[in-house]
Amino acid sequence: MKKILIIFIVSIISCRAQQSNEFPRSRIPFKPEQYVCYKTNEEIIIDGNFNEKSWQSAEWTNYFVDIEGDLKPKPYNNTRVKMIWDDEYFYFAAQLEEPHIWAKLKQRDTVIFYDNDFEIFIDPDGDTHKYYEFEINAFNTQWDLLITKPYRDDSNVALNGWDIAGLKTAIGIEGTINNPNDKDEYWTVEVAYPWKALSEMTSMDSPPKDGDQWRVDFSRVQWETEIVNGRYQKKINPKTGRSYPENNWVWSPQGFINMHAPETWGFVQFSENIVGTEKSEFVFNEIENVKWEMRKIYYAQHDYKMNHGKFTNDFNLLNLKAEFDLSKYNWPPKINTTDYQFEAILESKNGNTKIIIYDDSLIKVIKD
């Protein structure tokens, strides 16, 4: 049953992500959100209330936007998140404004985004592979997955049987749930994600060191509903006879409808400073811009393969123009191909850094 479920979900995601005659990719400039996550020195009780001093001191993220960014209108309900950490857990606190809070699903590891939900995505080492997904609804029903690579790159990538050992979660309801006779204010999600679980698929330090940066993003799935016979029901599109597509609201936008593009997620920088005390400056690593230029090769190679049936080792045939400064690198990179695979290898002029991207979007940074 789980295998059938995963195949079904892959088909849904592929249909939602695919665009006509071109490999799907972001349509907005590369400028992911940034957040400094400070340490806490007090016990955090996971109850959905955010009463601790640490939570009061932590800053909210910017409000969520549509998954396509500025290409679509802003969400009609606000969503925002806070993050803190200690030596055992990575903590998340989310507030989702909602005049009508509802949920239906109560069985763990079902497809939670069939309800309105909140989702967390974490790629510790930023290589686009081996990342974590967590979904939760207003009933505190959870779905956790370990994903070996994005769905665009293979058909069997989600380890649905994997559970986050030691996970703590709580939901807060400012209003009522499944009661259409009143207006609610918001619901909250509080999560303690154990570093031990996050260490299972990464070479990064877990817990992180001061200054480490991880790729993180959040998504809120929001369905259009109406009240029918005293119950919430998804609105039906009379033209199709099916419910309207869900809204996807995110912290750091993808620029197209596909959360499973880890290269577009936000940057979270960890600080050893105690939350509410001395500030730490977010330091953007310029190599991320270079990685983005390499990822454009990945997109262009798949465009080429869709049109010619194979990858190319001729960079000029990819018709790419660099957006960022590459003066420290021997650009363009060397490209090696077979009929079904490619790798692009870029070396720095001083010889101490090599960046490699592969046909399945895996990207590596090797430093001598």
In this prediction, residue 17 carries a pLDDT of 41
Give me the count of residues in the chain. Answer: 368
Tell me the average confidence (pLDDT) per consecutive run of 10 residues in the chain, 368 residues long.
43 44 95 99 98 99 99 98 99 99 98 98 98 99 97 94 95 98 98 96 94 99 96 96 98 99 99 98 99 99 96 98 98 96 99 98 97
> In this predicted structure, what is the pLDDT of residue 13?
46
pLDDT per position as a tens digit, 291-334: 999 999 999 999 999 999 999 999 999 999 999 999 999 999 99
Please report the pLDDT score of residue 3 as a whole number.
40
pLDDT for position 19? 42
| Contact (Cβ atoms closer than 8 angstroms) between residue 168 and residue 191 | yes
pLDDT digits (tens, 9 = 90+) for 219-268: 999 999 999 999 999 999 999 999 999 999 999 999 999 999 999 999 99
Return the half-sphere exposure (C-beta side, CA atoms, 13 A cut-off) of residue 17: 19
247 in Cβ contact with 73 (< 8 Å):
no
How distant is the alpha carbon of residue 253 from its chain centre? 9
Structure tokens given for 307: 């049109």
pLDDT at 11: 45
Structural contact between residues 147 and 128, judged by C-beta atoms closer than 8 angstroms: no
Residue 199 CB contacts under 8 Å (≥ 6 apart), including other chains: 206
pLDDT of residue 12: 46
Of 159, 149, 157, residue with least CA distance to 129 = 149
